[in-house]
Structure 1
Amino acid sequence: MKIWTVANQKGGVGKTTTTVTLGGLLAQQGHRVLLIDVDPHASLSYYFGIDSEELSSSVYDLFIHKGTLTSDVTMDCLCPTKLDSLFVLPATMNLATLDRTLGTQNGMGLIIKKALKLIENEFDYVLMDCPPVLGVLMVNALAACERVLVPVQTEFLALKGLDRMMHTLEIMGTSLSKEFNTTIIPTMFDKRIKAAMDAYDKLKEDYGDQTWDGHIPVDTRFRDASQAQSPASVAFPRSRGVYAYKKLIKELG
């Protein structure tokens, strides 16, 4: 089972779009895929029409049952999607209370890693959509993964946010005694805008080895796909944004 975490400490850079689109493409390739929403805002969950306020179980349950976690407890939290091999482990607003109520307890940073170990034979890929803040949820997502995907909007304010995220990965890598396999993904790229071109060049200059050679273009089909509650690769398979993510999948392997 390959586990990828999609993270950035700046919002609005394409984390949920990246998680959903890559997950949809992998599922369409025949892989069993689990998407985990670890953001209290539950954007990924709402994307698939899952109302976090009406859920009987969610990611939050993994933390509540941390001492009695089983594969059944974990699997019971999953929600199906329109794709037979694509499932969602949804979020609820209760996640926003974790740092205050349980964050200081021993082992709280490894709950998701333990849960995924219990169901490792059920899925080929797991992709996690992170909140834009460093706390127990992002720590869990980073501790569990083998690859970090960092979407970065091609504009200069987003590059500042990237610097903060890369520093966080250095700190977390030291704390967890692991080296993250990190891929920076330029997103919302518009070649007609000089500022976007300049930001892209700066990104390559500062993080050349870690930056994907391609880019994800601005594409209104991503918004249309979210309204359809379906991955763009299903709703609009010939869109230029989906084509770009297909190229990215080949790079990631």
Structure 2
Amino acid sequence: MKVWSVANQKGGVGKTTTVVALAGLLAELGHRVLVVDLDPHGSLTSYFRHDPDELDHSVFDLFAGDPLNAAGLEALLLPTTHEQIRLMPSSTALATLERRAVGKEGMGLQVAKALRQLDGRYDHVLIDSPPVLGVLMVNALAACQELLVPVQTEHLALKGLERMVRTIAMINRARRRKLRFTIVPTFYDRRTQASVSCLRQLHHQYPDEIAGSVVPVDTKFRNASVQGVVPSSLDAGSRGIKAYAHVLRNLLERPTS
């Protein structure tokens, strides 16, 4: 089971869109996909038409009591608009987790431990993380084999990327195996000098980490969100989906490290 996390310490860069787009493409290849919403805002949960304010059970249960077995974890999962994709939803209770985690051992590994219980039941897990360095992002980074960092192609987003790279370095000091990460440029508009200049800078500063494709501004993502469906089911030929398909091919072709 491959676990990929999507993270950036800046909001509004396309994290949830990246999770949904890649999950949809994987599902349409026949993979069994689990998406995990670790953001207290619950954007991924809301995308698939579940209300984080109304759920009795959510990913918060991983932190609230005794460890759950595989059956208990499956009971947390919700359907999505694609039959091959299941959702481990967020809830607003996650916003209290930082306070609850103070002084408790092992809180950064709860998601990793839970996903090990589900190994073999899913082919891919994609984790949507909050834009804040804390126990939830640490869980996302500790649980994954590959990190995807969406970066909006505008210069303020580069500062968020710098913070994220420092966080990855910190996490790597605590991991047995170095965390590999891929930068995915998003919201690219070749008509603007800001986008062109930012993309050039990303290639210059991170030549080995940047994805081989750039995700353009594409209204089809918004349209898919309105309908609560994965973007590729709405328009598989859109520019944005073609970009994500290229990113996915490169990820799937990489040797397991």
Alpha-carbon distance in structure 2 between the residues aligned to 1:224 and 1:13: 18
Displacement, 1:103?
4.0
Secondary structure class of the residue paired with 1:88? strand
Other-structure match for 2:173: 174
Other-structure match for 2:13: 13
Displacement, 1:179?
0.8
AA of the residue aligned to 2:16 = T
CA contact (8 A) 2:186 2:216 kept: yes
The 5 A counterparts of 1:158-237 are 158-237=157-236
2:5 is equivalent to residue 2 of structure 1: no
CA contact (8 A) 2:212 2:246 kept: no
CA contact (8 A) 1:103 1:136 kept: no
Secondary structure class of the residue paired with 2:137? helix
CA contact (8 A) 2:33 2:85 kept: yes
AA of the residue aligned to 1:29 = L
2:26 is equivalent to residue 38 of structure 1: no
Secondary structure class of the residue paired with 2:207? helix
The 5 A counterparts of 1:1-253 are 1-65=1-65, 67-253=66-252
Displacement, 1:176?
2.7
Alpha-carbon distance in structure 1 between the residues aligned to 2:103 and 2:3: 25
Alpha-carbon distance in structure 2 between the residues aligned to 1:248 and 1:35: 18
Alpha-carbon distance in structure 1 between the residues aligned to 2:57 and 2:177: 31
**Runs of 4 or more above 6 Å deviation:** none
Alpha-carbon distance in structure 1 between the residues aligned to 2:192 and 2:43: 28
Alpha-carbon distance in structure 1 between the residues aligned to 2:10 and 2:67: 34
Displacement, 1:177?
3.5
AA of the residue aligned to 1:250 = R
CA contact (8 A) 1:9 1:164 kept: yes
CA contact (8 A) 1:146 1:180 kept: yes
Alpha-carbon distance in structure 1 between the residues aligned to 2:137 and 2:155: 24
Unaligned runs of 5+ in 1: none
Give the TM-score, by structure 1 length.
0.98
Give the TM-score, by structure 2 length.
0.96
Stretch of structure 1 that moved more, 165-174 or 236-245: 236-245
Alpha-carbon distance in structure 2 between the residues aligned to 1:143 and 1:68: 17
Secondary structure class of the residue paired with 1:148? strand
Secondary structure class of the residue paired with 2:208? helix
Displacement, 1:99?
0.9
CA contact (8 A) 1:228 1:235 kept: no
Secondary structure class of the residue paired with 2:76? coil
Secondary structure class of the residue paired with 1:49? coil
Displacement, 1:102?
2.3
Alpha-carbon distance in structure 2 between the residues aligned to 1:230 and 1:82: 6
How large is the Cα RMSD of the aligned pairs? 0.9
Q: How many residues align?
A: 252
Displacement, 1:175?
2.1
